[in-house]
Chains A and B, each alone.
Chain A
Amino acid sequence: MPEETLRPAWSQHFTPDAIQELLSQGPFAKITPEWAWGDSTGKGIRVAVVDSGVEYDHPALEDCVRGGVVVEYDAKAKDNYRIKPDDKPLDVSGHGTACAGIIHSLAPEAEIYSVRVLGRNMGGRAIQFAAGLDWAIENNMQIVNLSLSTSLEEFFGLFHDLTDQAYFKNMNLISAVNNIPEPSYPSLYSSVISVAAHEGHDPFTYYYNPNPPVEFGAPGIDVEVAWNKKQYLVCTGNSFAAPHITGITALIRAKHPELTPFQIKTVLLACATNTKRQGR
């Protein structure tokens, strides 16, 4: 049996053999990367990184971190969580700093907010995660990077409600898909931009998958990333693919503030590396 048939998960859509060429026609063919994000720096776009925290003084982040919160699980509190301000955030693992570093490398003038929902207490992970997303929605973030997900069925409704709220508030949620092909939330909702890893390394090379639920493939293999305690590492995972699309989205939104979340997705599709513009 050829080994490829064992390949189980979402990134299978982004292997060199699997990538399909797409055609952009009519007015869509006029949407080019140059139009979409040429000369943009992501200036002023508020990006929340819902994760393990972001190390605010990591040299790779060059003071782009504007603040944040810590969401703690507390079985006694109302709704089982507490939110504390975190003006000079730190990162308990390195994962959030890695995501922030990728976003900053693409969109150097975007403002990053750390929403720490991961920590030693693993009991309330999904609740903390939902509360962190809720905070981002209520605090006027424009883009939220979600390199995490939950597969808990009972959170389907809550996350669905949150992603709808975000959509109607003109926000883009960008989510890494799970590393195994099972339902996970909120990455598989249609209003979310879901991302898996492809094998390339150019940060602006990304693909659209015409057979969702996973829509985009971005670099996520052997990516050099910032890590907590001022470190740098080489890592692999879908977690590192999503922030590439987050960074590009920040560039587009800064240059075209009038665009809505669904127009942003259209622009991303039109500018995908596997989209051929008619007439070229």
Chain B
Amino acid sequence: MNPDKDINEEKLSEQLQRLLISIEASGRAVLPKSNDVLLKSIVDAAARIFGAAAASILLVNEEEEALEFKVSTGEADHDLVGTKFPYDRGIAGYVFMTGQPIATSNVREDKRFNQDFAKSTGYVPNSILATPLISSDDRIIGVMEVLDKIDATSFDLHDMELMGMFAQQAAMAIDMSQQIDSIEQALIRGLKRLAKEDKTQDTSDLKSTLDHALNGANRSSDLLELADLFNDISALGEAERKACIQVLTTFAEYRKSTSAPRRFR
């Protein structure tokens, strides 16, 4: 066994531990337990603040060059979730491409509004206010929309300005939440790489730690990834396995501290 390697991995695990603690410290105040809950709380708040009958959030799906409805509240509701359309379609697409918010009151006549799509959901709004969700490093990560002002025919500039501030906060929270998910994925990838470096040993203690750490991971894609990981881990050397266990224990503690199970994407 190479002692240097052992030390390096201890350092790695220490670094990870610090990273997770700092994420927790910075994220906990603003972050609910999962991205879905976070998004839902944002649209609920948006609909109430702006006196809108409905609200929704679309996030960028870079692989498909599409905007995807992630959450919606009010009349349009859950049927929308998961629906995707290309960047250059609809009002949300316009907001995404230009990074400029827009308010428009004659949505039924507004050609940018994706009419066929709206009709298929059975809900065609009269007014829309759509604002880009811009991360702190100036990436447009999605679009937030509020639909149908309840006590007026349209959203005004005042609404647009308030929504700009609100969207700024929302974008920060969403971006942070997405980054935590990415860190989880990076952890898995890192462990896999580590596992590939050596070939020996039984891994039952590692497996139980991993099981404990990932108790929310019950979707088939997650399981596939985990199966793959276990396979690799079965070939680990003693030092690497120790490092893995330490990392995963840290991770499990972090997860316990955030209580509700979070799932891998």
Contact = CB atoms under 8 A, between A and B. Distances in A.
Q: Do A and B bind each other?
A: yes
Contacts of B168: 180, 182
Contacts of A147: 100
B65 interface: yes
A95 interface: yes
Contact of B97 (A92, A221, A235): A92
Contacts, number: 105
Interface residues of B, number: 36
B161 A233 contact: no
Interface of B: 65, 87-88, 93-94, 96-106, 110-112, 131, 134, 137-140, 154-158, 160-162, 164-165, 168
Contact of B101 (A94, A151, A237): A237
A233 B138 contact: no
B158 A7 contact: yes
Nearest to B88: A92
A236 B94 contact: no
A93 B98 contact: yes
Contacts of A175: none
List the 9 closest A-B pairs by CB distance, nearest first: A180-B164, A9-B161, A236-B103, A179-B164, A152-B138, A95-B98, A93-B97, A93-B94, A8-B161
Contact of A234 (B106, B111, B156, B162): B106
A237 B161 contact: no
B104 A120 contact: no
9 contacts: A11-B157, A179-B164, A180-B168, A221-B157, A233-B106, A236-B104, A236-B155, A237-B157, A239-B100
B100 to A, nearest CB: 5
Given A94-B94, A122-B139, A180 B100 contact: no
Given A222-B105, A227-B111, A237-B160, A148 B100 contact: yes
Given A7-B158, A179-B164, A199-B157, A234 B104 contact: yes
Contacts of B93: 93
Contact of A237 (B96, B100, B106): B100
Nearest to B87: A120
Contacts of B96: 122
Contacts of A227: 111-112
B98 A118 contact: yes
A233 B157 contact: no
A179 B165 CA distance: 9
A95 B98 CA distance: 8
Most chain A C-beta atoms within 10 Å of own C-beta, residue among B160, B165, B168:
B160
Contact of A122 (B102, B140, B164): B140
Contacts of B134: 151
A179 B198 CA distance: 56
Most chain A C-beta atoms within 10 Å of own C-beta, residue among B97, B103, B137:
B97
A82 interface: no
A30 interface: no
Interface string A249-264: 0000000000000000
Interface in A115-162: 118-120, 122-123, 125-126, 147-148, 150-152
